[in-house]
């Protein structure tokens, strides 16, 4: 079913729709369009056909400080646009870039929503490596270039639902996790995939905070069939540009039918296991944060009802509340993964 594009997104909030969608045309008219939009747009222009240092130069300071190497920037020249139909497009208004990048949970930088964008000035992603271990035929430590050079980037517009009952709609850039997993050739013993976030006190100032509640590193996990589902995504960018530090640079997981804490950021280790891994929030408060963490309006968190959500952006006088859907609206794609499971027990 085709879904019409939203027409109510302000030009000052995102790259103009005609530019954001028509990347090849932008390659021809980039200079003219950049001049025309630079004065009025609060959003960095998408990569859209630029290579070398062009993307880095065009990006705002928050992106330049954690910019990847030039070889990666060239990959943003040919992003496959999101289709015009579900499940890789929602038909809803996009959350403005400034909200996506300034309202974040990333406790390695602090507990407040503004801390990650405010305190990530020392974050760098070059060099970056990822350790692959466990039940795979090709374990080892892979540089970011090894991970990303073979992939074709695509755009997906997904809902993001936090367990704290707020939500966003974000245009991610990345590639299916299944494509990455297949390259490491998991064995028949690999039933789960475990992920870990970087721990670096010099770049992440809250790691050594006496108020930290997390036993670092931050850990998450998926069942193998969840990891291989076509919706599961490795994001390396948003809004056509690479990820800011506060959003999980240089690469993060996006699992749109689960609460946001499952979509682990700044990944440095992927481990394939036969047994279910321990995960950070499940270890901290198992009665509040289940391993599966599927969005479920019928199973409430002790502090937040889950049948309604606040869709960002919001102001003191303007708040949009919408009903939460089972599996965040992706039931057609993922409900079969949990057939015959009691979702109030396996929450």
Query: What span, in angstroms and rounded, lies between the C-alpha atoms of 305 and 317?
Result: 22
Q: What is the DSSP string of 157-220?
A: EEEEE-TTSEEEEEEEEEEEHHHHHHHH-B-TT--EEEEEE---TTT-GGGG-TT--S-SSPEE
Between CA 27 and CA 24 the distance in angstroms is 5
Between 50 and 189, the higher pLDDT residue: 189
CA 186 to chain centre: 24
Sign of the Cα pseudo-torsion (176, 333, 78, 18, in order): negative
As to burial, measured by CB atoms within 10 angstroms (0-12 exposed, 13-18 middle, 19+ buried), residue 340 is exposed
What pTM, to 2 d.p., does this model score? Answer: 0.84
81-108 pLDDT, tens digit each: 999 999 999 999 999 999 999 999 999 9
More confident residue, 248 or 55: 248
pLDDT above 70: residue 30: no
Phi, psi of 78 (to 5 degrees): -135, 55
DSSP state of 303: S
Residue-range domains of the chain with CATH: 81-338 (3.90.420.10)
Tokens 């980037």 map to which residue? 153
């Amino acid at each position: 079913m085709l879904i019409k594009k939203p027409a109510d997104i302000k030009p000052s909030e995102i790259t103009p729709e005609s530019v954001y969608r028509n990347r090849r045309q932008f390659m021809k008219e980039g200079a003219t369009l950049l001049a025309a939009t630079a004065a009025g747009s609060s959003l960095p222009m998408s990569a859209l056909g630029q290579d070398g240092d062009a993307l880095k130069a065009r990006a705002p300071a928050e992106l330049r400080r954690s910019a990847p190497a030039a070889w990666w920037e060239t990959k943003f020249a040919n992003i496959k646009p999101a289709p015009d139909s579900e499940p890789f497009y929602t038909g809803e208004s996009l959350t403005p870039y400034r909200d996506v990048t300034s309202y974040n949970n990333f406790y390695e930088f602090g507990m407040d929503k503004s801390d990650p964008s405010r305190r990530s000035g020392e974050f760098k992603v070059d060099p970056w490596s990822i350790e692959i271990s466990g039940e795979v035929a090709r374990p080892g430590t892979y540089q970011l270039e090894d991970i990303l050079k073979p992939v074709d980037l695509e755009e997906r517009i997904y809902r993001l639902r936090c367990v704290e009952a707020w939500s966003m709609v974000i245009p991610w850039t990345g590639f299916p996790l299944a494509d990455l997993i297949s390259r490491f050739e998991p064995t028949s013993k690999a039933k789960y995939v475990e992920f870990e976030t970087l721990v670096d006190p010099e770049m992440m100032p809250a790691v050594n905070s006496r108020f930290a509640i997390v036993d670092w590193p931050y850990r998450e996990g998926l069942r193998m069939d969840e990891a291989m589902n076509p919706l599961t995504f490795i994001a390396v960018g948003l809004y056509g540009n690479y990820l800011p530090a506060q959003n999980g640079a240089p690469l993060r997981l996006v699992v749109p039918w689960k609460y946001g804490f499952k979509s682990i950021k700044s990944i440095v280790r992927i481990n394939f296991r036969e047994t279910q891994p321990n995960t950070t929030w499940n270890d901290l408060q198992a009665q509040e944060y289940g391993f599966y963490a599927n969005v479920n309006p019928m199973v409430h968190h002790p502090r937040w009802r889950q049948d309604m959500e606040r869709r960002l952006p919001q102001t003191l006088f303007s708040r949009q509340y919408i009903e939460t859907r089972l599996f965040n609206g992706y039931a057609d794609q993922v409900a079969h993964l949990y057939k015959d499971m009691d979702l109030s027990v396996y929450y």
